[in-house]
């Protein structure tokens, strides 16, 4: 059995003496750039060492047990705030299942979306938006519910399954995966959309202050870039799973694809959460503080600014800092 074939350890365990000789250690992402680091408390201070630098310094090969564990730790930090020795690794890393749960409302919504797709498969006109919101009609019109039951029977024949109950089981599996996507739509995409709309209003409000208007415009451009990137991921998933019969026929590959998008978006949501909370904490009728706009820019710039612009901005900031340090008063 090769190292790659060995079962994944369930807990954060490391054997090299560097992980015990200095006392308790923990692992997290660096606040500055998100690099996975080891943290050691030395008196009243913390020593922070990037995991990659640690591996190089102590010759810990990627394929060794400790090297594999450090890779798992780095991956795990996309789903948890931190880890200590002995902690259980998150389920995303161990089994692919999410370590969090969508709400009952998101589960119901995902199920209804798939039922509606099945209905459209046998009768496209039945889900015509011109007749009203199809999802609302699906819950209120008995005739549509009966058509959905017929769709389950037809799908069993098409998929060569024993009966409609087998289709129901497949639909429930698919809906359980897509419920996470609907939850992330509400937790990430829609809040970011709201921020961009408020930033657009701020740009107009700063019309008499060119400096602040330019800064607000810059922040808005970065936020729009982020919003577009998120929207593209949701659209990509919708395109992949929109053909319901193909999705049900290829559940294993669909599940893997949905989970990959889910985990990407969840990691983004975790990174964005402090900014989302800060904006959510401001009243829509109140003027957004300049401190929040500055904080938002500092969060967005290293993530969404083109590399050439970010490099130039960093160079200018360092140059200014050197000039200030050289001044005597």
pLDDT digits (tens, 9 = 90+) for 228-256: 999 999 999 999 988 999 999 999 999 99
Contact by Cβ (8 Å): 122, 249:
no
Answer whether residue 139 is part of any domain: yes
Q: Are residue 157 and residue 202 in the same domain, yes or no?
A: no
User: Domain check: are 65 and 116 in the same one?
Assistant: no
Closest of 22, 24, 96, 100 to residue 257, by C-alpha = 96
Domain assignment present for 174? no
**Helices 142-158 and 104-122 meet at what angle, rounded to 10?**
70
- The answer to whether the CB of 50 falls within 8 A of the CB of 30 is yes
Are both 193 and 280 inside the same structural domain? Answer: yes
Q: Tell me the residue range of the domain where 138 lies.
A: 104-166
pLDDT digits (tens, 9 = 90+) for 250-296: 999 999 999 999 999 999 999 999 999 999 988 766 677 889 999 99
- In angstroms, the Cα distances linking 260 to 79, 97, 114, 255 are 13, 11, 20, 9
Give residue 308's pLDDT band: very low, low, confident or very high (50, 70, 90). low
How distant is the alpha carbon of residue 322 from its chain centre?
38
322 belongs to a structural domain: no
Same domain flag for 184 and 161 = no
Helices 251-280 + 290-304 axis angle, to 10: 150
pLDDT, position 186: 97
Report the predicted TM-score, pTM, of the whole model to 2 decimal places.
Answer: 0.84
User: Does 86 share its domain with 12?
Assistant: yes
In a domain, 144, yes or no: yes
Judge whether residue 166 has pLDDT over 90.
yes
Q: How far apart are CA 147 and CA 143, in angstroms?
A: 6
Q: How many domains does the chain have?
A: 3
The pLDDT of residue 328: 35
Q: What is the predicted pLDDT for the residue at 313? A: 47
The Cα–Cα gap between 241 and 257 comes to: 9
311 domain residue, yes or no:
no
Residue 176 scores a pLDDT above 90: yes
Answer yes or no: is 321 within a domain.
no
103-160, pLDDT tens digit by residue?
999 999 999 999 999 999 988 887 777 777 888 888 888 888 889 999 999 999 999 9
């Amino acid at each position: 059995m090769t190292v790659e074939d060995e079962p994944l350890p369930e807990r954060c365990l490391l054997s090299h003496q560097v992980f015990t000789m200095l006392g308790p250690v923990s692992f997290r992402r660096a606040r500055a750039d998100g690099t996975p680091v080891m943290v050691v408390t030395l008196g009243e201070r913390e020593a922070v060492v990037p995991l990659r630098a640690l591996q190089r310094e102590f010759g810990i090969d990627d394929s060794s047990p400790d090297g594999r564990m450090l890779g798992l730790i780095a991956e795990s930090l996309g789903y948890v705030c931190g880890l200590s020795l002995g902690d259980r690794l998150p389920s995303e890393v161990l089994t692919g299942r999410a370590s969090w749960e969508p709400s009952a409302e998101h589960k119901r919504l995902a199920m209804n979306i798939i039922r509606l797709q099945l209905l459209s498969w046998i009768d496209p006109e039945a889900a015509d938006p011109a007749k009203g919101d199809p999802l609302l009609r699906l819950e209120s019109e008995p005739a549509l519910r009966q058509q959905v039951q017929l769709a389950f029977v037809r799908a069993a024949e098409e998929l060569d399954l024993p009966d409609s109950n087998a289709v129901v089981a497949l639909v429930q599996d698919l809906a359980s995966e897509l419920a996470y996507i609907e939850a992330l739509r509400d937790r990430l995409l829609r809040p970011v959309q709201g921020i961009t709309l408020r930033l657009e209003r701020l740009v107009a409000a700063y019309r008499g202050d060119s400096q602040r208007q330019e800064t607000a415009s810059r922040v808005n451009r970065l936020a729009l870039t982020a919003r577009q990137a998120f929207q593209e991921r949701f659209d990509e998933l919708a395109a992949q799973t929109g053909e319901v019969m193909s999705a049900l026929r290829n559940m294993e590959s669909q599940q893997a694809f949905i989970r990959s998008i889910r985990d990407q978006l969840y990691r983004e949501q975790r990174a964005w959460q402090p900014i989302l909370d800060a904006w959510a904490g401001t009243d829509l009728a109140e003027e957004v503080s300049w401190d929040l706009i500055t904080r938002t820019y500092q969060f967005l710039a290293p993530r969404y600014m083109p590399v050439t612009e970010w490099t130039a901005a960093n160079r200018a900031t360092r140059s200014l800092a050197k000039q200030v340090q050289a001044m005597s008063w």
